[in-house]
Amino acid sequence: MFKQLLLIFLGGGLGSVLRYLISKSLNFETEFIPIGTFTVNILGSLLLGLILGIAARSEIFNSNTVLFLAVGFCGGFTTFSSFAFENQALLRTGDYLNFFFYTFGSIILGILAVFLGLFLSKLT
């Protein structure tokens, strides 16, 4: 059990650092939507679909690798809390149009990205 928790911890730390670097470089105060958070959430959804799809179809990833990549890395890389906070900020400032695009774009594209990852995993 300790080994699995350590793998999740290490993957989550790596994902969180990468998310921070991407978000820091892509989120600008003048942006209509936080493109950095949007990017990591969609990319993380794609990676999760790909990882879980490959794990379900082959022996490439063992259970520890899935914990490290899917639970740890993707869990640390994506961020629902920042997404929720940024949406609250859009609502607070009355930016309803960008709230709508950011919220529904993130949800719809995130789900589609998982499906795309699962589809791409069939090609490997």
Diameter over CA atoms, the chain: 50
Residues near 118 by beta carbon (within 8 Å), at least 6 away in sequence: 49, 50, 52, 53
Residues annotated as binding site for Na(+)?
Answer: 75, 78
- Averaged confidence pLDDT in the chain: 95
* 117 CB burial (10 A radius; 0-12, 13-18, 19+): buried
What is the spatial distance between Cα 84 and Cα 103, in angstroms, rounded to a whole number? 9
- pLDDT band for 30, please (50, 70, 90 cuts): low
Alpha helices in 28-123 (DSSP H): 35-57, 63-66, 75-77, 80-92, 96-122
Task: Tell me the two tokens of residue 122.
Answer: 């069939």
Residues annotated as binding site?
Answer: 75, 78
For 48-94, the pLDDT digits (tens) are 999 999 999 999 999 999 999 999 999 999 999 999 999 999 999 99
| pLDDT of residue 124 exceeding 90 | no
pTM for the model = 0.92
What is the spatial distance between Cα 98 and Cα 89, in angstroms, rounded to a whole number? 11
**Alpha-carbon torsion, ordered 93, 97, 100, 101, to 10 deg:** -120
